[in-house]
Structure 1
């Protein structure tokens, strides 16, 4: 694979299904070999019969590298002879794994990519071949065996790595321990290793490289890396330009292609030498949220193969003189500090806050025994020996972009998970995102949030929290969407407690601000903003502390005990995953241990915000763009509250455990909570939404001819609530756990009582309610008319990823329950005698629909 980086674009702010008890393991792509006594290989097409270049004449060293050459020594010795560049590679580096990282230096606008972002990443080694040639071999790893095992030969014979470039030897070094290669055409050219990948070219509508407009800017060599900067020009088709549509990130083409028919960009290739011996691994544990990499291990003494999955982390070690102190638990400084530099393109007023977000992690590393382990610094602009594209430096890159986001990737050694460097992507317009969030979620409780341009101090603190979140990703940490569920809702309103402890235990959660706190609680920013919390400190301690183990398997047992002991003492250390399963405790943007109650509080605050939107968004000469933007955010927040609650119905809690821990891994959401959720939906979604439909706002920002977004949300929510997959989950949980669960019959009855409440009083049914009742009936009719999933031709795995059960609903009790309920509903409708004519027509229509569905031949 070409890219080694998992980009956490959702990492900050913006489908996997777990089967049985096998944890979801988020993996980075892999790209490298281990030390020489091991073999990492990935499935590739075997080379049949290599075609080698014809041997060229090997000339004396002085003829190739004259005295006039400009020479620089480093990882490779670089010679510049007129318009040509030569690598002089020592024999000691043949067969060594080298990571090649390609980044954009500068790019045209319009395609949603920016200078500093990664383009391509692979691991290679230089090898000597026949006919006096040198080759670059791509190392793609998936399997490993120790060279002392007999099975090593079988693994080696099962895979072959491709040769992706060839170079005739131009000369041997003065002592014959080096070879000299002409690399000019290679770096000027379009080899995938040092250029764009085919998928990126397709996404950008690029065609052939224009050789006459492509050249090498510079080549610099350092002790462990070589940096090559080049300019490449490609033929290009015009970008798709739709007025008012945001640029699609990473695709769609560059707008300059409309005028020029070509695209010119500057790229940087880093050749970074990997450690000769990979650092020790720490095996992945689903109870602590780390990114992971893996490969399959083969051995002679196995009875099954070992899929070894290990976490991604920096290699923090104490200084030699402090090793014993560190082992005893004393705080020591690391031998090599983790340093993040701030892009000099960053506006000066925001730099201190970005640095503060980085330095906030120092306390977390103290839990692992290191002081001053991580630091943020401004880029030394006067130091011409440093380059932000240099693979030795980690940088917070600032992008001039209208994208409302930031992300925190890292580059790591796939043999061990060792993080080598990171370039955080920071989009200028992330400030709009945090502004709108804070106005919507905190406007009711913080007067500073009630204007369109925040004071620098407030915006700076918002930037600081985003910075901390992204740095967490670059330290190896995944999102912990379940962390906020470990805080009781009522404590979120307790000024003393929440200001001391924070509203969530993890900065890695999507728990932006404390929207539960009410105006009368008088809670300050300490209890509103997220911060590095108990879980974050624990996760760093688990991932970076010394275990004393001499082998990976021994380390696994020790750190497992750490997890068992820690969770038994402090439930706030729970890792709830990425929010991609059926567990209502692990959701993005929710708060508290009861998201139904939390959403009730949230809506109370949203009503305050809605009443004040006109004044809070007022700016001279604005044509209601502010109002439209912020109302959209308000409506989106309400929609999130609805979905938080919806997930409780048919919810299945998932708590990973090792065999030493008591209790089940899977258990249904409590019956009480599910009934509470249905009551919320009946009261807050299917009724009482007039506060969202303030005509003084709506008539300024929405055209009624384009539909009713409130009605659309109601109908979508009801259809989702009554989905066959949700009903099946309720039935499966009833079958497994007994009638203490929320049964399908109880569920349908509760929803019916809310949707058809008018039938008991013969009251006139309003237009929004008539629409919902039709959705209700149509959705249930669709269930009894549904074909089995098998008849769709879609595989069970794909259906699961789509959130659709692969079980045949027609063999379950669900159609029987739905048919019985529709018969009862028809009888109830037929017995209703409303005096309102439109209500009578509506009910007669529903009765006919049900009759036709139950007896289509009639």
Structure 2
């Protein structure tokens, strides 16, 4: 019996084990059945695109088949607006504008794949104890979670559906910022009108285009539709397995940058490391390169032209790209940058502008007047991976107009709307060169246009050799200084000595320097070699305080340059009707050109206005003598104020050309002139300028142009008729009202960030400064002079009475 019982127990145990194993096996099979088998997702009707990884399309559903080898691999996700409604973002956001750029990884978590946004802003060596803290305090957010739908037949890859990621309102890849959502009163994304247009896989990138339609109460255009639609382009780019050796940035040489905070530093704080953005150029023959020979790079920078580029412009596009060859030769490389026509289908059947292996100059059929030079770079090292220059079809219209307005007096080839093709081509060549400069890593250098002596710009031999600014990267488009009769003048900008200097500094390989730190001494020595030479200075123009770092100016003497410019503009104004009209056509072109002529006048005035209260900035390190910031000297500021009173604040009779105005408008001259004059008056009478003048006085006393000196000169000039008891014309009456209004603003209002160039430039506590005292004092002075005036002209007399009432209201608002 015991033996039988034992056998029974053994059988029961075995049966139990078999039942348990069978239950476990059934459970596992159930789990497998819960997931769609690979064959059901990838069937005969499925469209599959192979590349970085496979993309499967089943109707409206999109699947990614991601190899295990690409999990936890660094990639870059770039979000751009591909198509957009007119006037979106106030017209300052165009097709091609980048909205997001983030380093991402696909990471597996149980039955899901997480798309994480990885930050390299904070780093530390993984051998140090602080590494764990850096990881804990920089935890990567998950942008989205995808269910694993299947595994590949050999289990080397997993399949996820990504349809919802591109058709839902995901902030991380959206084209609408929070500010825009508020401005346009966006309610929601309409999923019925949002869909994926295309999804393509290339060897090193994935490209998805998806249309997003939002319901909005106040869209930028066609408000009755209550709709904003846009097409977003999402580029996911594989980053190099081994990051390029980065190069440390120095603010004395202008470069676009990436930054990291290094907690491995032995300093008593985290060490911010900033690296320049540049292409990976390595010499094929390092030994020959080290001997100073010109050597080809292993991988040159290659730009292809968009197939849509008009044939007649292609040579100018290619010339603009390859004009940087000479700068790279300065850095020791030959054939470093190459332009190519788009290949035919026979030459390269796989060619696509969306393929990250190809950098493209895109030609966009758009009325936008712009061109941009964006690039995509590795945030770990600053290496530029690819770049698409964008050229909008109508961009040259602005250049043609400016060519006439700024050079027409001295340049016969600019005196027609039918600008010769050779001149248009040269403009196009230089615009492309400018945008390629951005794509090579160079930002705007606004100080470069102040480096050359103003009168040298009237010399043919000088301008043909050196151009009109030291770099193509400034906004110095045309030579408006040259006068009628000056010979052999170069009127269009070109690559200059600073461009050679900057490319050499950023791209020259430094032999035997195996880390960014080992390069630093050599890089510093290159800067020190150019010390004291204005041709090699950098200034980004931020802050609005440095008159030597401005946009659209040329020459080292703003008063002289603007005087030359206005002299030319007066000649152009007299000829504008003849140069812009054709028999049988209306005055549309005349109206456009006259509007732009007033803008050119305003720019010339603005270049001088910046001298008043100006502070020059010369970037230096501690091993260089002298100060970084220096107020503009007293004589220059007084000269600038005299110019402003004569050219800006007096009635510009020549600008009010009745022959032109009565052809293009029934009314508008009074308000136009008032607006232009008030703009420059407000620049001078700003919290920031007055504070800088006061601080200069605190350091230098009467050796500088004080805020009281400035306001005395200004008020006496603005109210000259009151002093002389003369009739005041309508333009002056409007301007004098604007002056009183501005003093009221200074007396009663607070500094607004909207009125400042990059709001951190000059912070002012108006109540605790001299500004209120000055404003009040000048209003009291003016009231006294107005009360003593004795002008016989009735309208002028009424105007004086009105000014007195306005002043009383400002000084005594409660009566």
* Structure with higher RCO (Cα < 8 A, 6+ apart): 1
Q: Following TM superposition, by how much is the alpha carbon of 1:366 offset from its aligned partner in structure 2, in angstroms?
A: 0.9
Higher alpha-carbon deviation: 843-852 or 431-440: 843-852
* Unaligned 5+ runs, structure 1: 1-53, 241-250
Q: Following TM superposition, by how much is the alpha carbon of 1:96 offset from its aligned partner in structure 2, in angstroms?
A: 1.2
Task: Tell me which residue corresponds to 1:714.
Answer: 677
Q: Does 1:632 align with 2:610?
A: no
- C-alpha change, 1:317 and 1:519, in structure 2 (3 Å) is same
Q: Is contact 1:60-1:172 (8 Å) kept?
A: no
Task: Tell me which residue corresponds to 1:330.
Answer: 293
Task: Tell me which residue corresponds to 2:73.
Answer: 96
**Matches of 1:749 and 1:580 in 2, distance apart?**
26
Task: Tell me which residue corresponds to 1:565.
Answer: 529
- C-alpha change, 1:344 and 1:312, in structure 2 (3 Å) is same
Which structure 2 residues correspond to residues 595-610 of structure 1 after superposition, within 5 A?
A: 595-610=558-573
Report the secondary structure of 2:402's partner residue: helix
Task: Tell me which residue corresponds to 1:657.
Answer: 620
Task: Tell me which residue corresponds to 2:150.
Answer: 170
Paired residue for 1:786, among 717, 741, 748? 748
Which structure 2 residues correspond to residues 446-461 of structure 1 after superposition, within 5 A?
A: 446-461=411-426
Which structure 2 residues correspond to residues 515-526 of structure 1 after superposition, within 5 A?
A: 515-524=480-489
Q: Does 1:514 align with 2:479?
A: yes
Which structure 2 residues correspond to residues 708-857 of structure 1 after superposition, within 5 A?
A: 708-783=671-746, 785-786=747-748, 801-802=758-759, 806-843=763-800, 845-846=802-803
The RMSD of aligned alpha carbons is 3.5
Q: Following TM superposition, by how much is the alpha carbon of 1:252 offset from its aligned partner in structure 2, in angstroms?
A: 3.0
Q: Is contact 2:213-2:228 (8 Å) kept?
A: yes
Q: Does 1:588 align with 2:546?
A: no
- C-alpha change, 1:196 and 1:855, in structure 2 (3 Å) is closer
**Matches of 1:713 and 1:116 in 2, distance apart?**
33
Which structure 2 residues correspond to residues 457-606 of structure 1 after superposition, within 5 A?
A: 457-524=422-489, 527-548=490-511, 549-568=513-532, 570-606=533-569
Q: Following TM superposition, by how much is the alpha carbon of 1:188 offset from its aligned partner in structure 2, in angstroms?
A: 6.8
Report the secondary structure of 2:418's partner residue: coil
- C-alpha change, 1:137 and 1:516, in structure 2 (3 Å) is same
Q: Is contact 1:207-1:234 (8 Å) kept?
A: no
**Matches of 1:759 and 1:479 in 2, distance apart?**
45
**Matches of 1:268 and 1:816 in 2, distance apart?**
55
**Matches of 2:193 and 2:786 in 1, distance apart?**
78
- C-alpha change, 1:208 and 1:723, in structure 2 (3 Å) is closer
Q: Does 1:158 align with 2:133?
A: no
**Matches of 2:417 and 2:274 in 1, distance apart?**
47
**Matches of 2:609 and 2:755 in 1, distance apart?**
23
Q: Does 1:179 align with 2:143?
A: no
Q: Please give the per-residue CA displacement for 1:358-417, whole angstroms capped at 9, x wherever unaligned.
A: 010110111111111111111113232011111221111111111111111111111111
- C-alpha change, 1:74 and 1:814, in structure 2 (3 Å) is closer
Q: Please give the per-residue CA displacement for 1:232-283, whole angstroms capped at 9, x wherever unaligned.
A: 455554897xxxxxxxxxx83689x959x89685x65443221122111112
**Matches of 2:34 and 2:553 in 1, distance apart?**
69
Q: Is contact 1:116-1:389 (8 Å) kept?
A: no
Q: Does 1:406 align with 2:368?
A: no
Task: Tell me which residue corresponds to 1:33.
Answer: none
Q: Following TM superposition, by how much is the alpha carbon of 1:192 offset from its aligned partner in structure 2, in angstroms?
A: 4.0
Task: Tell me which residue corresponds to 2:53.
Answer: 76
Q: Is contact 1:187-1:216 (8 Å) kept?
A: no
Task: Tell me which residue corresponds to 1:395.
Answer: 360
Paired residue for 2:220, among 240, 247, 252? 252
Task: Tell me which residue corresponds to 2:241.
Answer: 276
**Matches of 1:337 and 1:118 in 2, distance apart?**
25
Q: Please give the per-residue CA displacement for 1:783-829, whole angstroms capped at 9, x wherever unaligned.
A: 3x32666xxxx8x9997844895433343344444544444444444
- C-alpha change, 1:674 and 1:186, in structure 2 (3 Å) is same
Q: Does 1:357 align with 2:320?
A: yes
Report the secondary structure of 2:201's partner residue: strand
**Matches of 1:302 and 1:855 in 2, distance apart?**
58
Q: Following TM superposition, by how much is the alpha carbon of 1:353 offset from its aligned partner in structure 2, in angstroms?
A: 0.8
Task: Tell me which residue corresponds to 1:19.
Answer: none
**Matches of 1:298 and 1:307 in 2, distance apart?**
9
Q: Higher helix share goes to which structure?
A: 2
Higher alpha-carbon deviation: 819-828 or 697-706: 819-828
**Matches of 2:355 and 2:106 in 1, distance apart?**
21
Q: Is contact 2:406-2:480 (8 Å) kept?
A: yes
- C-alpha change, 1:488 and 1:210, in structure 2 (3 Å) is same
Q: Does 1:142 align with 2:116?
A: no
Q: Please give the per-residue CA displacement for 1:595-645, whole angstroms capped at 9, x wherever unaligned.
A: 111000000000000000110011233221111100001000001111111
Report the secondary structure of 1:313's partner residue: coil
Report the secondary structure of 2:150's partner residue: strand
**Matches of 1:82 and 1:724 in 2, distance apart?**
61
Q: Is contact 1:187-1:194 (8 Å) kept?
A: no
Task: Tell me which residue corresponds to 2:653.
Answer: 690
- C-alpha change, 1:110 and 1:600, in structure 2 (3 Å) is closer
Report the secondary structure of 2:108's partner residue: strand
Q: Please give the per-residue CA displacement for 1:623-675, whole angstroms capped at 9, x wherever unaligned.
A: 21111100001000001111111111000111110011111011101111100
Q: Following TM superposition, by how much is the alpha carbon of 1:465 offset from its aligned partner in structure 2, in angstroms?
A: 1.1
- C-alpha change, 1:802 and 1:692, in structure 2 (3 Å) is same
Report the secondary structure of 2:485's partner residue: helix
**Matches of 1:212 and 1:764 in 2, distance apart?**
65
* Unaligned 5+ runs, structure 2: 1-30
**Matches of 2:222 and 2:799 in 1, distance apart?**
53
- C-alpha change, 1:145 and 1:412, in structure 2 (3 Å) is same
| Structure index of larger Rg | 2
**Matches of 1:814 and 1:71 in 2, distance apart?**
70
Q: Is contact 1:642-1:681 (8 Å) kept?
A: yes
Q: Following TM superposition, by how much is the alpha carbon of 1:424 offset from its aligned partner in structure 2, in angstroms?
A: 1.4
Q: Following TM superposition, by how much is the alpha carbon of 1:768 offset from its aligned partner in structure 2, in angstroms?
A: 2.7
TM-score (norm 1): 0.82
**Matches of 1:543 and 1:423 in 2, distance apart?**
21
**Matches of 1:347 and 1:55 in 2, distance apart?**
56
Q: Is contact 1:56-1:170 (8 Å) kept?
A: no
Task: Tell me which residue corresponds to 1:384.
Answer: 349
- C-alpha change, 1:556 and 1:830, in structure 2 (3 Å) is same
- C-alpha change, 1:141 and 1:768, in structure 2 (3 Å) is same
Q: Is contact 2:185-2:216 (8 Å) kept?
A: no
- C-alpha change, 1:543 and 1:300, in structure 2 (3 Å) is closer
Q: Is contact 2:187-2:214 (8 Å) kept?
A: yes
